[in-house]
Amino acid sequence: MNAELKVRDIMSSQVVCLSDQASLKDAHLLMQSRGVRHLPVISEEDGSFVGIVTHKKMVASVISLLNKYGTGALERKERFVPISDIVETEIQQLNSDQALCDVVDLFIGNKHGCLPVVNENKKVEGIVTSSDFIKLCAKLLKDA
């Protein structure tokens, strides 16, 4: 892999974020409508990065509610689950200048599906997903 490639070279900069005041229902609707599997959560107060809501965690929470309350109450119950109940706050953060050769080890070693790209002011600049690495791999293989 080219040692000069940086996070900024493959990150998605058009990131769909979610407020830390949102509900599980908000996350569910946003993931469905935008076709994303990872939502960075930001503070409503100052826009700083709080954590990540993953599709896996969101689906597990919805299924748990479904099993507990049934389909009739699901939508109502989803609205009362704060996103803070499912947000992952202990997550590695990247910066856009990091070398991809270092970042790939984080993905492999920790089985991450995504990592947020956060600047020195704790603002989300982008996101790197495992799909971004697959796209890079495809490009490098085609160029070889």
Q: What is the pLDDT of residues 27-39, one digit of tens each?
A: 999 999 999 999 9
User: What CATH number does residue 34 fall under?
Assistant: 3.10.580.10
Residue 70 falls inside a structural domain: yes
pLDDT at residue 105 in the model: 85
DSSP H helix total and E strand total for the chain: 5, 5
Instruction: Tell me the pLDDT band of 2, cut-offs 50, 70 and 90.
Output: low
Q: How far apart are CA 136 and CA 144, in angstroms?
A: 12
CA dist 41 to 35, 86, 118, 142, Å?
Answer: 16, 11, 12, 36
Residue 82 falls inside a structural domain: yes
Read off the pLDDT of residues 4-27 as tens digits, 9 standing for 90 and up: 899 999 999 999 999 999 999 999
Residue 136 falls inside a structural domain: yes
Residue with token string 């830390």:
20
Residue 1 falls inside a structural domain: no
Give me the number of domains the chain comprises.
1
Structural domain containing residue 33:
7-143
**Single pTM value for the model:** 0.89
